Amino acid sequence: MKNETTVRVTPEEMAAQARFAREFSALPERPKTYFIVTYGCQMNAHDSEKLAGMLEEMGLAPAPAREQADFVLHNTCCIRDNAERKALGNVTWLKEIKKERPEMLIGVCGCMVQEPGMAEKLLRQYPFVDVAFGTGNIHRLPELLYRAVETKRRVVSVPDEQSTLIEGLPIRRESPFQAYVTIMYGCNNFCSYCIVPYVRGRERSREMKDILAEVEGLQKKGVQEIMLLGQNVNSYGNDVPGGVTFPRLLHEVSRLGIPRIRFMTSHPKDLSDELIREMAENPALCRHLHLPVQSGSNRILEAMNRRYTRESYLEKVEKIRKAAPDVGLTTDLIVAFPGETDADFEDTMDLARRVCFDSAFTFIYSPREGTRAAKMPGRVDPALATERIERLIALQEEMTQKRFAEMIGKTESVLVTGQSRRNETQFTGKTSRNISVNFEGGADMIGKIVQVKITAASKTTLKGVVEGDA
Ligand code: 5AD
Ligand code: SF4
């Protein structure tokens, strides 16, 4: 992988792709419907919205189910082994459907395809895959699909460098009132367990003016909540001359008037006082901070190349809580990193108890080929890893209940996101702190922010009673 400077995809290249899209829609024998299967994080979910946007410009319409689609595209993830196995398993499953419907085209894209050696593997072992491309060239979907259909041959295109910055893709957004906005691509951190920097490339920040223009468009459409996306949003702007910081971006974005602004993900080492101040002072910023700690042991944090200590993490938590006591913290935790002893694991348990996160995503370490940790000695026995993660989950459930108990009796602003499938008078939404709340309501509330008095808590959600509009 080369370490290159950012290459902005030119307007000419984007125009060429738009031409491919138009020519594709005029092809007599072409797929008419599509279905996208998405794995992994919000970044991938948002990439799928862009893929759908391009496919619709090419004249394809969404299919109700993947078995019925003319083109099924798998937008894959490779962060852990099980994500990869799941994607490959589903691709293989479609092979059978394709036997009955040979005109079906199968595509694979996303992080997994960008892994070294994967394109060759797909070519060799998955002969029923018609189109494959990486994360660095998603804008070329019109051209690649055009070539596959026109030549009736397989098209595999994976760029070996990851330096592109793509502006101006069409986006078919899933929700009319919530929207993702990418602010930066890639990651420079090389945490020793993580494959992301290898498949998503170096950090590339979008220009602030492009982000603001996108957000302004969303505000005009009545979007109530945006989520700013990046692997490490706290280093937004580091790669751009002129030095725009993430807190400054937040400040500018919030002036455009969208009621709720979220962001994901913050690396603790780059969490600045300026950001804490902005969180404390800016009412448009949601009262939630996802701050992955990964481990509570200094020895393991060092081996992970996280570049902070448990003490400095706890200090930052203190600072946030002092400045903005209503901000809920969530985290990611990895157990059974190579060499993790009982004492290291107890340090993680201790940290989770001390911080008392609202919730945590917990993972068993999964070796990823090509990363530094994959070569480290001291693999933890799988049975012990399972035992540890179960203890950690049980502890976190206890902590979540503690946090929920503090919320009972309070009135919260809730963005209503949907209706329960089982009971049509039941609605669901999210508090500013990102906790799910269920309540009795009406369909006219969907997409609005309402005031809900919290009355009870279950294991993962709150219950409440609507008090009125915001
Ligand atoms: N094994 C287990 N968990 C991982 N994560 C990233 N890489 C791995 C891995 N190899 C987790 C980290 C990260 C989250 C997105 O996924 O906790 O924060
Ligand atoms: Fe992976 Fe670390 Fe970058 Fe997050 S910050 S994407 S865990 S390398």
* Domain CATH number, residue 427: 2.40.50.140
Query: Mind listing the pLDDT tens digit for each residue in 87-105?
Result: 999 999 999 999 999 999 9
Which of 141, 164, 187 is a domain's end point? 164
Ligand having the closest approach to the CA of 80: 1
Ligand 1 shell residues, CB under 6 Å: 79-80, 193-194, 292, 294, 332, 334, 363, 365-366, 368
Domain assignment present for residue 425? The answer is yes
Q: What pLDDT, on a 0 to 100 scale, did the predictor assign at position 470? A: 58
Residues 216, 311: one domain?
yes
pLDDT above 70 (res 255): yes
Whichever domain contains 300, its CATH number is 3.80.30.20
How does residue 459 score in pLDDT terms, banded at 50, 70 and 90? very high
Backbone angles phi, psi at 154, to 5 degrees: -75, 140
| Cβ–Cβ < 8 Å for 133, 157 | yes
Q: What pLDDT, on a 0 to 100 scale, did the predictor assign at position 140? A: 95
- Mean pLDDT is lowest, of 57-66, 163-172, 273-282, 314-323, for 163-172
Query: Mind listing the pLDDT tens digit for each residue in 12-41?
Result: 999 999 999 999 999 989 999 999 999 999
Domain assignment present for residue 43? The answer is yes
Which of 139, 164, 189 is a domain's end point? 164
Q: What pLDDT, on a 0 to 100 scale, did the predictor assign at position 163? A: 78
Residues 139, 238: one domain?
no
Q: In this structure, are strands 359-364 and 7-8 parallel, antiparallel, or unpaired?
A: unpaired
Q: What pLDDT, on a 0 to 100 scale, did the predictor assign at position 400? A: 98
CA of 292 relative to ligand 2 center, distance in Å = 10
| DSSP alpha helix (H) spans, 255-341 | 273-281, 298-303, 310-323
Amino acid at 438: N
Q: What average pLDDT does the chain have?
A: 95
Domain assignment present for residue 74? The answer is yes
Q: In this structure, are strands 105-110 and 7-8 parallel, antiparallel, or unpaired?
A: unpaired
Pick the residue whose CA is nearest to atom 2 on ligand 2. 191
3-class secondary structure, 184? strand
Task: Tell me how many degrees the CA angle 214-219-223 measures, rounded to the nearest 5.
Answer: 105
Average the pLDDT over 159-164 and give the result: 76
CA of 461 relative to ligand 1 center, distance in Å = 25
Report the alpha-carbon distance of residue 2 to residue 4 in Å, rounded.
6
Furthest C-alpha separation in the chain: 66
The total number of structural domains in the chain stands at 3
Whichever domain contains 75, its CATH number is 3.40.50.12160
Note down the domain range covering 339. Answer: 168-401
Measuring CA to CA, which residue among 285, 361, 353, 269 is closest to residue 324?
A: 285
CA of 468 relative to ligand 1 center, distance in Å = 40
Residues 233, 342: one domain?
yes
Residues 349, 266: one domain?
yes
DSSP 127: T
Query: Look-up: residue for tokens 């962001």?
Result: 263
Residues 155, 176: one domain?
no
| Cβ–Cβ < 8 Å for 317, 323 | no
Report the alpha-carbon distance of residue 433 to residue 115 in Å, rounded.
35
Residues 232, 312: one domain?
yes
Q: What pLDDT, on a 0 to 100 scale, did the predictor assign at position 4? A: 54
Which of 115, 138, 164 is a domain's end point? 164
Residues 240, 144: one domain?
no
Report the alpha-carbon distance of residue 162 to residue 198 in Å, rounded.
9
Query: Mind listing the pLDDT tens digit for each residue in 197-251?
Result: 999 999 999 999 999 999 999 999 999 999 999 999 999 999 887 779 999 999 9
Q: How many residues does the chain have?
A: 470
Average the pLDDT over 186-207 and give the result: 94
Residues 48, 146: one domain?
yes
Ligand 2 neighbourhood includes 106 CB (under 6 angstroms)? no
Of the chain, the percentage scoring pLDDT greater than 70 comes to: 98
| Cβ–Cβ < 8 Å for 345, 388 | yes
Number of neighbours of residue 188 by Cβ within 10 angstroms: 14
Average the pLDDT over 272-294 and give the result: 97
Measuring CA to CA, which residue among 414, 313, 390, 323 is closest to residue 357?
A: 313
Domain assignment present for residue 406? The answer is no
Domain assignment present for residue 2? The answer is no
Residues 273, 301: one domain?
yes
Mutate to test the pocket of ligand 2, among 77, 231, 294 (most ligand atoms within 8 A of CB): 231
Query: Mind listing the pLDDT tens digit for each residue in 123-153?
Result: 899 999 999 999 989 999 999 999 999 999 9
pLDDT above 70 (res 2): no
Cα 21 off chain centre by: 27
Measuring CA to CA, which residue among 187, 188, 183 is closest to residue 206?
A: 183
The number of the ligand 1 atom at minimal distance from the alpha carbon of 193 is: 10
How does residue 469 score in pLDDT terms, banded at 50, 70 and 90? low
Residues 58, 158: one domain?
yes
CA of 222 relative to ligand 1 center, distance in Å = 35
Ligand having the closest approach to the CA of 231: 2
Mutate to test the pocket of ligand 1, among 193, 291, 295, 369 (most ligand atoms within 8 A of CB): 193
Query: Look-up: residue for tokens 């490779």?
Result: 78
Residues 150, 265: one domain?
no
Query: Look-up: residue for tokens 């929207």?
Result: 179
Domain assignment present for residue 172? The answer is yes
Ligand 2 neighbourhood includes 195 CB (under 6 angstroms)? no
Domain assignment present for residue 21? The answer is yes
pLDDT above 90 (res 423): no
Residues 237, 133: one domain?
no
Domain assignment present for residue 1? The answer is no
